[in-house]
Chain A
């Protein structure tokens, strides 16, 4: 049948991309058959034990934020780490997709490190714009930039998966969006030259690498060039933060996914006058940060996103 042939050629040709169960506090990822997929942060983690690589994404902890949308961002980060520690299957490492702090203050970085280190896992960071408020980006790079290039980009391999951390929050141009810049893009092209097309690729950066909502700056100016370099790979997963809510898109072999914040929610694109922190009722905060199931059904191009708040 035609539809079956379509499936053969489509994303579902490979191992089912059956994603994703989601918790606002973190996302647990596993790589099965070369295809990353996310698992529930809690009970379902047992499923990850069967095979492959499991890792976790947290984002936008905004340590130091104390405004009405969440007067205790450090506290909710601590809750997220407690959940990670309660997992029945330990993830191999954590990816933090930026905005570790709210104002790049040394004390904020100290607090974030103190809490996140309680997970006793390696953490691979990329900076958000809130982490690079000092003029020369020293505060971030001195802590997290070891072995990285430029403003902090790098790659590493884990269990046959090639991970690439990109920086798209520095040297932003007036009127523009997130920016990778020529130097980083050249490095990326060179870095990918060493990888076979069959290598699963995971790219992570703070600002979405696809145009979520340019009116609010939710996109990356020169991401198209990066995606061009990634075209030849059979499995590419792009993980971002910045927008404090789940967005997902599948385009060919590329799956784009944004994480929720551990600190506060932001409005849906265009749903408010600005993308500023969204105040919800105190007893609703954790429900906004709750679990969302996102499922990609075989043969369908669109992903189903079902919210399952932790508190109803």
Chain B
């Protein structure tokens, strides 16, 4: 059974993989990242909440192509074949509905929150 990956902070991991010294990693937080899986004709998680500036990456785990299309036409991926990815960086707070333009019963939501002072000092 495939596991469902929830919101994942990948940036820190990437820093570790390239072996950047700890002193550099302690510098101002790099842009956040989040991932949404497309699995069994569904966006998982169906609704995610991220901070402004977060890059959300969708990855298609199905044997069927899907797309990621903003309901307000803000963004639209090409058809994603198995294991293909699509990323979009959300800079403005708000609620962003999207769907698969091939299988429109597949819908999802990205909620983007403003970055607060507390976030910056984390």
A residues adjacent to B (C-beta < 8 A): 67-69, 102-104, 129-130, 133, 135, 172-177, 214-217, 273-277
Contacts and interface: CB of A to CB of B under 8 A. Distances in A.
Contacts of B69: 174
Contacts of B89: none
Nearest to B101: A172
A274 B101 CA distance: 17
Contacts of A68: 63
B64 A174 contact: no
Contacts of B97: 174
Contacts of B71: 174
A214 B102 CA distance: 14
B22 interface: no
Given A274-B41, A274-B42, A176 B105 contact: yes
Contacts of A172: 101-102, 104
B79 A217 contact: no
Interface of B: 40-42, 62-65, 69, 71, 78-79, 81-82, 97-99, 101-107
A177 B40 CA distance: 17
The SS class assigned to the B binding surface is loop
Contacts of B82: 67
A152 to B, nearest CB: 16
A95 B97 CA distance: 37
A276 B104 contact: no
Contacts of A217: 103-106
Given A174-B71, A274-B41, A104 B79 contact: yes
A276 B41 contact: yes
A276 B101 contact: no
Contacts of A216: 41, 105
Contacts of B104: 172-177, 217
Given A103-B81, A274-B40, A276-B40, A214 B62 contact: no
Nearest to A175: B107
Nearest to B72: A174
Given A174-B99, A175-B104, A276-B63, 16 more contacts: A67-B63, A67-B82, A69-B63, A102-B65, A103-B65, A130-B102, A172-B101, A172-B102, A172-B104, A173-B104, A174-B97, A174-B98, A177-B105, A215-B105, A217-B106, A273-B40
Nearest 3 CB-CB pairings of A with B: A274-B40, A174-B99, A274-B41
B107 A133 contact: no
Contacts of A276: 40-41, 62-64
Contacts of B106: 217
A129 B105 contact: no
A244 to B, nearest CB: 11
Contact of B63 (A174, A177, A277): A277
A158 B78 CA distance: 39
Identify which of A135, A177, A214, A274 gathers the most chain B CB atoms within 10 Å of its CB: A274
